[in-house]
Chain A
Amino acid sequence: MGIVSSIGENISSFCNALMKGESGIRLSTSQKEPKISVNIAAELQNFSFLELLNRFQDVPEEKLVNAKRLGRRAPFAIQASIISALEAWQHAQLFQSKLQSERIGLIVAGQNSTQNFQYDLIQKFRENPEYLSPRYALEFLETNQVGVLSELFGINGEGLVVGGASATGNVGIIKGYQLVHSGFADVCVVVGTIADLSPMDIQGFINIGAMGGKKYINQPEKACRPFDKQHEGFIYGQASACIILESLASASKREAPFLAEIKGGSINLDGNSSSDPNKNGEVKAMLSALNQAGLSASEVDYLNTHGSSSALGDKTEADAICDVFGGHTAALRLNATKGLTGHCLYSAGLVEAIATVIQMRQGFLHPNKNLEEPICNDLKFCGAEAINHRIDIAMSNSFGFGGINTSIVLKRD
């Protein structure tokens, strides 16, 4: 696993931040024009690609040189993906492996990751179109991520980009799982791209009524409140996160460390082009993931909710969870990672899968700092402090605009 986020620039610091319940949500440092009314976000402030690259130890020098070459002048979204993928690749001990490159797949979970990059170029382009960098033709394509990462790691199996709005990360995990499970790859790298939103994208989310940050405009750390009565919309977050999926046979053969097992993952559509959530679709996603895993709802110890801090979204998910877990809700523990990281959009599913695996392995639940008045008293959310909790089976939900419902089930190894 690898991550670069507002609350941690690697897995170890991300883990510490989860334990302490640190929030990355603060006033935005963006100086862009025009100014947008919501100025709160969990950004990667002071991100320095070269500095983060230089912190890597025990990565072959040649790989670091290539990473520098590929990333130094690349868009922010590419730089962040290189950092998270390098950490994941290193953790999985793939620098030392002799795997066949054709048996390694690559899934980039991301869409529209160059929006802000393009926004910044528009003014200059309008004045002098001739001076547009020839590199732009590569860089505005989402598949540039596939090209850069496959060149860096020498990946020659299947490679593609997947999108699913706010569920993009889970869609990537599920497609990667299917690739490995069906035998088309031994290893699959799944990278969630950072959402580098332009001011226009942020205004769009405000105008559609999805974004919060108004009531707590002077208290940014209180603005993201999943499942709290004062929730009023999502708070934008930035992160790139990467996991490596590998078949049991391949990992056992090379004696690679196993963190957790994906037991099932489900995607379904509401058949709805709008932004509104649908309880039935969410219930179906959770039940289908459990069914694939061969588990009953009562065997789940922990649920990492989609919990975006949206009033209708939180209510719909809480109702769906009550439907699925019924009498088991008294034993099921829940939290919402977006309360700390903001909503990382395309990478959210990966950020939350990583948060889930960390909590499973360390035996704790991260706090929900702003959950002061829960909208639903039947669900057992972690409170303002982290608690110890043994997790053997976990579920993680992600739901996206366009009626995209996803759920994955994980088992501690």
Chain B
Amino acid sequence: MATEQVYEVVKNVIMEVLPDLNPEMISIEKNLKELGANSIDRMEVVTISMEELGIKLPLMSFAQVSNIEGLVKVLSENVGKVELK
């Protein structure tokens, strides 16, 4: 799956977790914290994104992620390793 497609999935998940956010505020270099996500919102974005993409990774795999781009990168690298739903 192309990175752009994964980014689209992540954007939709961010909107699901933070429904009051203006979608135009989201850009790939930003981090979730500056979009108003607290620590649990951030973990939820990761969990729901994995579910949407059919990926199962330990949460530690995201420890070094510092922005949305990093998140999309880890997800993209692992998409397709297990069959998509």
Interface residues, chain A, CB within 8 Å of chain B? 65, 68-69, 72-73, 128, 130-135, 138
Nearest 10 CB-CB pairs, A to B? A134-B43, A131-B51, A130-B56, A134-B44, A135-B40, A134-B40, A133-B44, A135-B44, A134-B47, A131-B47
Q: Which residues of B contact A132 (CB under 8 A)?
A: 47
Q: Tell me if B's interface is mostly helix, strand, loop or mixed.
A: helix
Name the residue of chain A whose CB is nearest to the CB of B85.
A128
Q: Which residues of B contact A65 (CB under 8 A)?
A: 20
Count of B residues near A, CB < 8 Å? Answer: 11
Q: Which residues of A contact B50 (CB under 8 A)?
A: 130-131
Interface residues, chain B, CB within 8 Å of chain A? 17, 19-20, 40, 43-44, 47-48, 50-51, 56
Q: Which residues of A contact B43 (CB under 8 A)?
A: 134
Question: Shortest beta-carbon distance, B27 to chain A, in Å?
Answer: 23
Name the residue of chain A whose CB is nearest to the CB of B39.
A134
**Across the interface, do B47 and A133 meet the contact criterion of CB distance under 8 Å?**
yes
* Residue from A65, A131, A138 with most neighbouring chain B CB atoms (10 Å): A131
A131 and B44 alpha carbons, distance in the complex (Å): 9
Q: Which of A72, A130, A131, A133 contacts B19 (CB 8 A)?
A: A72
**Across the interface, do A128 and B44 meet the contact criterion of CB distance under 8 Å?**
no
A136 and B71 alpha carbons, distance in the complex (Å): 22
**Across the interface, do B19 and A138 meet the contact criterion of CB distance under 8 Å?**
no
Q: Which residues of B contact A138 (CB under 8 A)?
A: 40
- A selection of 15 A-B contacts at a CB cut-off of 8 Å is A65-B20, A72-B19, A73-B17, A128-B51, A128-B56, A130-B47, A130-B50, A130-B56, A131-B50, A131-B51, A133-B44, A133-B47, A135-B40, A135-B44, A138-B40
A87 and B38 alpha carbons, distance in the complex (Å): 28
* Residue from A65, A69, A128, A134 with most neighbouring chain B CB atoms (10 Å): A134
